[in-house]
Structure 1
Amino acid sequence: MAKITPCLWFNYQAEEAAKFYVSLLPHSHIDKVVRSPADNPSTRAGAVLTVEFTLAGQPFIGLNGGPQFPFTEAVSFSIDCEDQAEVDRLWEALTRGGGSPGPCGWLKDRFGLSWQIVPRALPKMLEDPDRDAASRAMQAMLKMGKIDIAGVTRAYEARPSA
């Protein structure tokens, strides 16, 4: 068992969310579903109380807590994407069915959880010791919703005219 496991409070959609999330990434699976006992005052007996799941090797708990505490952008999950195809696939899947795109590679899924869909190439460009190239990459990225690796790369590689 992991020493620290994030617990996500859902509005009675924990099992649906967990099944959706594990379908998106390798090394992901549902580990355990815990059902409510008969004497739980917050839900009916037998309803899903918690879902333990592993997402890309990281354990999580989904809690069916109700509508009191919705997600905010104060917590988000960043996905390291190998290439544009992975960025596109995850962006489409996570925004489908009620999710919403945001700026700079951020989005909210249909459960209200915030995600950062980050192509692996982006941090390398932003960390480049050539601060002018890094700045051009940053300025290009700031104008995007879903990150377009080719567009950021063009800006990064552009040389100012003399």
Structure 2
Amino acid sequence: MKKIIFITTIFTFLTMSCSNLNKKEKNDDSSKDNIVKNDSIKSSENMIEQKITPCIWVETTDAKEVIDYYLSIFKDGKMKEHHQYKNPPEAGGGNFETAIIEIAGMELSILAAGPFFKFNESVSFVINTKDQKETDYYWDALTANGGQEGSCGWCKDKYGLSWQIVPVEYFDLINSNNPKVREKALKNTLTQKKIILSELK
């Protein structure tokens, strides 16, 4: 049963990106049966110039909740597309939602299709922060309300997605031509959760 739902969900999500090329088909009564609601401000004219778009499968069927959460953290973000779907009876029924948001200049696809898969640290998003203040902001925002602190600049948000919050100056320290600078930065990183630059210099 999970396999059928998974295949149906993936198929619907992939075909969603072609919706702008088939506007006439949206008036077909048969397609209306499976699509509950579409909130979309996306068109071929305003699509982001991004060849590869990460997609995250969250353990909820409420994509709007996920959108609101990430846009509360990334203040310059915006929702570009939101869709609600009904699984057909042969796929077990039930609803799921998809969305596309833009955060920090990156387009991110959201698949809110229920608790079938969990995140792990094998995939993480790196936020390159400009200074300690911005590092503190993202760290605090992502670890609050159910998030989790990790080690060496790693943390998880409330959905379990892993993030690395890294000041750009950190890379200068660990790649310094001075071996003493490199060694101190790397050694002290191992003792930290959130990256604190002043302790690495």
Post-superposition CA distance 1:36-63 (Å, at most 9, x none): 147374654xx55101111111111100
- One-letter identity of the residue aligned with 2:114: G
Q: Say yes or no: does 1:15 pair with 2:64.
A: yes
Residue 3 of structure 1 deviates from its aligned partner by: 2.0
- 3-state SS of paired residue (1:30): strand
Q: Say yes or no: does 1:57 pair with 2:105.
A: yes
- One-letter identity of the residue aligned with 1:85: K
Pairwise mapping of residues 1-162 of structure 1 onto structure 2 (< 5 A)?
Answer: 1=47, 2-12=50-60, 13-37=62-86, 39=88, 41=91, 44=94, 47=95, 49-153=97-201
Residue 84 of structure 1 deviates from its aligned partner by: 1.1
Greater shift in the superposed pair: 24-33 or 68-77: 24-33
- 3-state SS of paired residue (1:23): helix
Runs of 5+ unmatched residues, structure 2: 1-46
Identity value in percent: 34
Residue 18 of structure 1 deviates from its aligned partner by: 2.5
Counterpart contact for 1:81–1:87, Cα < 8 Å: yes
Larger helix percent:
2
Greater shift in the superposed pair: 107-116 or 47-56: 47-56
Gap change, CA 1:38 and 1:67, over 3 Å in 2: closer
TM-score (norm 2): 0.69
Between the aligned partners of 2:57 and 2:168, the Cα distance in structure 1 is 29
Between the aligned partners of 2:182 and 2:68, the Cα distance in structure 1 is 38
Residue 79 of structure 1 deviates from its aligned partner by: 0.3
- 3-state SS of paired residue (1:111): coil
Between the aligned partners of 2:134 and 2:164, the Cα distance in structure 1 is 13
Q: May I ask how many residue pairs the two structures share in their alignment? A: 151
- Higher gyration radius (CA): 2
Post-superposition CA distance 1:118-141 (Å, at most 9, x none): 011100111111122111111111
- One-letter identity of the residue aligned with 1:105: G
- One-letter identity of the residue aligned with 1:95: T
